[in-house]
Amino acid sequence: MSELKNDRYLRALAKQPVDQTPVWMMRQAGRYLPEYRATRAQAGDFMSLCKNAELACEVTLQPLRRYPLDAAILFSDILTIPDAMGLGLYFETGEGPKFERPLSSYQEVANLAIPDPEDELGYVMNAVRTIRRELKGEVPLIGFSGSPWTLATYMVEGGSSKTFGKIKKMAFAEPKTLHLLLDKLADSVTSYLNAQVKAGAQSLMVFDSWGGVLSPRDYEEFSLRYMQKIVDGLIREHDGRKVPVTLFTKNGGQWIEKIAATGCDAIGLDWTIDIADAKRRVGDQVALQGNMDPSMLHASPERIRSEVETILAGFGEGTGHIFNLGHGITPDVNPEHAGAFINAVGELSRKYHK
């Protein structure tokens, strides 16, 4: 078992005692950092950055050089699997990801092959191995994937959507087609995440960005059921250590009891749920990750500190809290404000861990 100099994040996930609340940020390697923008310019475009192991490693490590973070997260994208399935991923400036060949029929879904993580997605595994080597055991490395439902939304809509009209039409008019797609995606995500573990990821996270657009019944049928399938199929111990898994559904606060029942180790919370309420509801079953509104990083450092204190007090004493934003940090945030946030967690959380 490789030794970690700082295992605070893994300890909190296992609900073991820590000296202070661990902290990392979703999208901590990103456009708010000038050094990231410089490396991305060097790569040429976003996917070239993802596919170059040395540069993906560089941007993964950049926030750790700046801030006392307790985890690194693999630099990649949630849409690597649909891209490897041959849908033709490209990025429109200012519009986000799009697919040249979105799915609309049962036959198109039936024709999809499950990508080999060491072949079509080998560049991701190369990045994981490179990052893990360069981290030199400083902090653990988080691997991740999008959830089947979230990946399916992009694959059917052809890109981002405000109404999710096409995928919901498929869900209600052609459920057989959508279930086949979700089943294939669950198998793909499971093999992809397991390959990340074998390559060196020490913790896993599933991002269900769009589960919150579903009704409670449809969330269980089209999203949670397939995240459950992934949790059941993951490698949960590797290299002599438990491999914890966190499930994050944006706008999923109403369903946290059901998410906890999957057997995941932690639930990611967005900012629309009070952390004290979440802890009351799922208590000792799982660790909780979250959940400051990312827009709070535009406030003054004093206001950021008071928000951090409020969330820490909401969770209260003891372990099982990983401090994070309720979603990804936005590109227009001042890096000094991110630093004020991270330092505040370190300073203010110690009294909760006596």
pLDDT value at position 294?
98
The answer to whether 254 is a known ligand-binding residue is: no
CA of 325: how far to CAs of 50, 54, 299, 335, in Å? 23, 27, 14, 14
CA distance 349 to 354: 10
Is 31 noted as a catalytic residue in this protein? yes
The DSSP bridge pattern shows strands 245-249 and 203-208 to be: parallel
The answer to whether 62 is a known ligand-binding residue is: no
Residue 193 pLDDT exceeds 60: yes
CA distance 71 to 324: 11
Is 280 noted as a catalytic residue in this protein? no
Residue 106 pLDDT exceeds 80: yes
CA distance 239 to 126: 18
Structural tokens at position 42: 């060097």
The answer to whether 236 is a known ligand-binding residue is: no
Catalytic annotation, pick one of 7, 9, 36, 40: 40
The DSSP H or E segment spanning 8 is helix 8-13
pLDDT in tens, 264-274: 999 999 999 99
Is 11 noted as a catalytic residue in this protein? no
The DSSP H or E segment spanning 303 is helix 301-315
Catalytic annotation, pick one of 8, 11, 27, 305: 27
Pair 58, 72: CB distance under 8 Å: no
Structural tokens at position 64: 């750790």
- Average pLDDT value for residue range 126-142: 98
Residue 95 pLDDT exceeds 90: no
pLDDT in tens, 23-71: 999 999 999 999 999 999 999 999 999 999 999 999 999 999 999 999 9
CA distance 309 to 284: 22
Largest Cα–Cα separation, the chain: 59
The answer to whether 65 is a known ligand-binding residue is: no
Catalytic annotation, pick one of 36, 154, 219, 226: 154
- Average pLDDT value for residue range 231-258: 97
> Domain 8-352 falls in which CATH fold?
TIM Barrel (3.20.20)
For the chain, what is the mean pLDDT?
97
Residue 2 pLDDT exceeds 70: no
Residue 1 pLDDT exceeds 70: no
- Average pLDDT value for residue range 144-151: 98
Is 27 noted as a catalytic residue in this protein? yes
The answer to whether 192 is a known ligand-binding residue is: no
CA of 185: how far to CAs of 27, 251, 325, in Å? 23, 22, 27
Q: Rounded to 5 degrees, what are φ and ψ at 230?
A: -65, -50
Three-state DSSP state, 92? strand
pLDDT in tens, 209-238: 999 999 999 999 999 999 999 999 999 999
CA distance 77 to 144: 9
pLDDT value at position 297?
98
What pTM was estimated for this model as a whole? 0.97
For residue 204, list its beta bridge partners: 143, 245
Structural tokens at position 290: 């979250």
Catalytic annotation, pick one of 31, 66, 129, 241: 31
